């Protein structure tokens, strides 16, 4: 992941976790109402996608799996590389970010300037990026 992707993952972590928890809890069901056509409309050819509800549901589930795997990959990256943050202030700010708090709220609660919190966030992103780069270097 590049630095921008790490930044997005940090800022959206709480949302991604909520999506993964919700998706895991919900049972797979039909997502669309299948409306039948009646009369002359039923005999006319359609320009749209196939009207097979099983095929439509299969496509939806594949799309869901792809999106869920992408979110899981990002969450796993953040969890794996957050262990590399050693400075206590950075750890606290990281935990606050992962809890979904804004930079302004973190700065207010910890009596820091917004710029200081932003610098710490950027340092956290840099550390995660370097940790990931080092991990890739070791694997090759």
63-72 pLDDT, tens digit each: 888 888 999 9
State pLDDT tens for residues 15-51.
Answer: 999 988 888 777 455 444 545 555 566 566 665 555 6
Please say if the pLDDT value at position 104 is more than 70.
Answer: yes
Please say if the pLDDT value at position 92 is more than 50.
Answer: yes
Q: Is the pTM of this model over 0.75?
A: no
Share of the chain above pLDDT 70, in %: 81
Q: What sign results for the dihedral spanned by CA atoms 92, 97, 103, 108?
A: negative
């Amino acid at each position: 992941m590049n630095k921008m992707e790490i930044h997005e993952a940090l800022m959206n972590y709480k949302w991604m976790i909520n999506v993964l928890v919700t998706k895991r809890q919900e049972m797979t069901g039909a997502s669309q109402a299948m409306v039948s056509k009646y009369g002359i409309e039923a005999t006319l050819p359609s320009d749209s996608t196939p009207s097979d509800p099983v095929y439509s549901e299969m496509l939806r589930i594949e799309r869901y799996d792809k999106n869920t795997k992408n979110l899981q990959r990002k969450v796993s990256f953040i969890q794996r590389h957050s262990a590399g943050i050693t400075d206590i202030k950075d750890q606290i700010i990281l935990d606050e970010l992962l809890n979904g708090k804004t930079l302004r709220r973190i700065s207010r609660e910890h009596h820091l300037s917004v710029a200081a919190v932003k610098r710490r966030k950027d340092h956290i992103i840099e550390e995660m990026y370097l940790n990931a780069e080092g991990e890739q270097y070791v694997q090759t």
